[in-house]
Homo-oligomer: A and B are copies of this chain.
Amino acid sequence: MKKILMTGFEPFGGESSNPSWEAVSQLDQSLIAGSHRIIGLQLPCEFEASLSVLNEALNALQPEIVIAVGQAGGRCDLSVERVAINLIDARIADNAGAQPIDIPVVPGGPTAYFSSLPLKAIVQELQLQGVPASVSNTAGTYVCNHVFYALMHFASQHPGLRSAGFVHIPYMPEQAVRHPGQPSMSLSQVMLGLRLIAETAVAVRQDVRMSAGTTH
């Protein structure tokens, strides 16, 4: 059975839960397409520790596909990230108290990596199944982008890792209660979406050609 490593984060920024881990933990051990099994992994919301936990799992599990997931409070859909940049610019301290500013994720690494997930096929499938989704062109400059970049850097050196990428998800409704005016998405919808992403990542080797860009 091939493995899909799916990561979620612990809570941060004053939240008591993180929808990424809530969803991923429930998808742990799920069977995808009869051929793959999801392995759920919680990452600390810390610049340093997140990468050691991630790298240990990447080496130990040798997954074929990696889908990292993070909370994006304020977004209204599943945003499949297109590009990871080699830069940390922390707006708030991480859970270990560190707030690095304008330093690279990997010194000497390339400026950016593109996701190797079939982004357009994923968005197309999600929308077809009634799950709001879009391609995003920035994963920010915090721990999410940090993990995303490190993941793609690892992938660039391990051809056995067929495809990898990052997905940002909205607040859960119970979080949005404390953030008036912010959208939310139910956990079951997020779980359906993540499962569809995993299935599409398994099934599609050549992404479809579909406009999903932004003018700015």
Contact = CB atoms under 8 A, between A and B. Distances in A.
Contact of A142 (B74, B212, B214): B214
A184 B140 contact: no
A33 interface: no
Contacts of A213: 88-91, 101, 140-142
Number of copies: 4
A130 interface: yes
A122 interface: no
Interface in A179-199: 180-186, 188-189
A90 B141 contact: no
A99 B211 contact: yes
Interface of A: 13, 70-77, 82-83, 85, 87-92, 99, 101-102, 110-114, 120, 127, 130-135, 137-144, 168, 173-174, 176-177, 180-186, 188-189, 207, 209-216
